[in-house]
Amino acid sequence: MGMLLYSFGLLLALWITAPYWLLHMLFYGKYREGLSERLGQVPERLTSAVRGRRTVWIHAVSVGELIAVSGVAQSLQQLHPDLAIVVSTTTRTSQRLARARFGPERVFYFPLDFAWMVRRYLRALQPVMLVLAETELWPRLLHESRQAGVEIVIVNGRISDRSLPRYRALHRLWQPFVQSLKHVLAQSQEDAQRFAEIGVRKDCITVSGNLKYDVRVPRDSALPKALRAALPAGAKVIVAGSTLDKEEAMLLDAFTRELQAVPELVLILAPRHPERFAAVAALLTQRGLPWVRRTLWAHTPAHIAPGSVVLLDSIGELAGVYALASVAFVGGSLVPSGGHNPLEPAQFGVPILTGTHTQNFRGIMSALLMEDAIAVTSPQELHATLHRLLTSAEAAAMGQRAYTVFEQQTGAFERTLGVLEAVLQARNAVEALETAR
The residues assigned a catalytic role are 65
3-class secondary structure, 296: helix
Q: Nearest CA to 420 among 146, 69, 97, 94? A: 69
Q: Nearest CA to 113 among 90, 96, 97, 81? A: 90
Contact (Cβ atoms closer than 8 angstroms) between residue 230 and residue 308: no
CA–CA distances in Å: residue 340 to residues 64, 241, 332, 362: 8, 9, 6, 10
State the SS3 of 157-200. ECCCCCCHHHHHHCHHHHHHHHCCCCEEEECCHHHHHHHHHCCC
User: How far is it between the farthest Cα atoms of the chain?
Assistant: 80
**Residue 90: how many CB atoms within 10 A of its CB?**
18
Q: Nearest CA to 275 among 93, 33, 26? A: 93
How many whole angstroms separate alpha carbon 424 and alpha carbon 182?
A: 11
Residue positions counted in the chain: 437
How many whole angstroms separate alpha carbon 428 and alpha carbon 431?
A: 5
Contact (Cβ atoms closer than 8 angstroms) between residue 106 and residue 59: no
